Amino acid sequence: MVLAVSRLSYTYPRSAVQALHDLNFEIPEGQIIGFLGPNGAGKTTTQKIITGILSGYEGEVRVFGKSLKELGSDYYNRIGVSFEYPNLYNRLTAEENLNFYRRFFDVPTEEPAALLARFNLPIGDNRTVGQYSKGMKMRLTLLRSLLNNPQLWFLDEPTTGQDPEHSVMIRDIIREQRNKGTSIFLTTHNMTLADELCDRIAFIVDGRIATFDTPRNLKIAHAKRVVRVEYREDGSVKARDFSLEDAASKEAFIDLVRKATIETIHTMEPSLENVFIEITGRGLSI
């Protein structure tokens, strides 16, 4: 197991409210685990603890088979972290930023030019990073976290500020890393992104994990056993629902499909956001 967290709790100094309450989860090799929840739910706090930014937690965090408290600075040779907000040197160029950052590692690193090309960023550009758009800065922050070929990759809202083309590109890169065997800890409130990428998802609210399962299992568990058919009749589009539990309804469905001009047929499983609201009673915009 690449990451195993048990009974993790945390309270910020001088705070009377516990930020994390008894979290338990694991990330196997080559899987993407998503932490989904509204702002302030505990997603980033959990990530900061595992990446060594926050200490003083209760419980156990084991990474690469060892206690996090036992790991030294060589731990950072094996992980990559991409923050939600760019933390770059604005007066340096992209390549100067990357070459500076490479010096911190004791392991071989990727050539900046290859990563810049993969992330559709200019090579040999004399502009400083401060002149980049928000989307370009976010992609540079993301690619920087891959310089050391991490075994465990922490992503915080990786598609923030991206247009559709670059958002698709980033999702493809994340899948490529998973297929290489990289384990990925993804924090987001973007349910569509999590549904597409994650092997398992934790819904976290008020520092507690409400449920932890695959996207498919979560949607099926809360789905209506209904098929909706949209068909054209008398020049207009009509819709009709059919139960998958009732024999007569199934026969009526088959009869309609045979006779009508069908436009769409789809099941009525809920979105992950609807499942989240049903389980937690909370929305993601909170």
Task: Reduce the DSSP state of residue 88 to 3 states and report it.
Answer: coil
Please tell me the predicted confidence (pLDDT) of residue 286: 43
Is residue 18 within 8 A of residue 11, CB to CB? The reply is yes
Please tell me the predicted confidence (pLDDT) of residue 285: 53
Rounded distance between C-alpha atoms, residue 123 and residue 143, angstroms: 13
Please tell me the predicted confidence (pLDDT) of residue 284: 57
- DSSP symbol at 258: H
Cβ count within 10 A of residue 111: 12
Beta-carbon contacts of 278 under 8 Å, excluding residues fewer than 6 positions away, are: 222, 270
Rounded distance between C-alpha atoms, residue 80 and residue 234, angstroms: 59
Q: What are the b/e assignments for 229-267, b being 16+ CB within 10 Å?
A: bebeeeeeeeeeebeeeeeebeeebeebeeeeeeeeeee
Rounded distance between C-alpha atoms, residue 253 and residue 178, angstroms: 41
pTM: 0.88
Tokens 């036992």 belong to residue: 70
Secondary structure, 3-state, 109-152? CCCHHHHHHHCCCCCCCCCCHHHCCHHHHHHHHHHHCCCCCCCE
From first to last of its 286 residues, the chain has per-residue pLDDT tens of 999 999 999 999 999 999 999 999 999 999 999 999 888 899 999 999 999 999 999 999 999 999 999 999 999 999 999 988 888 999 999 999 999 999 999 999 999 999 999 999 999 999 999 999 999 999 999 999 999 999 999 999 999 889 999 999 999 999 999 999 999 999 988 889 999 999 999 999 999 999 999 999 998 888 888 999 999 988 899 999 999 888 889 899 999 999 999 999 988 888 888 898 888 876 655 4
Please tell me the predicted confidence (pLDDT) of residue 169: 97
Please tell me the predicted confidence (pLDDT) of residue 20: 97
Rounded distance between C-alpha atoms, residue 51 and residue 46, angstroms: 9
Rounded distance between C-alpha atoms, residue 159 and residue 274, angstroms: 22
Q: How many CA atoms lie within 13 A of 251 on its CB side?
A: 3
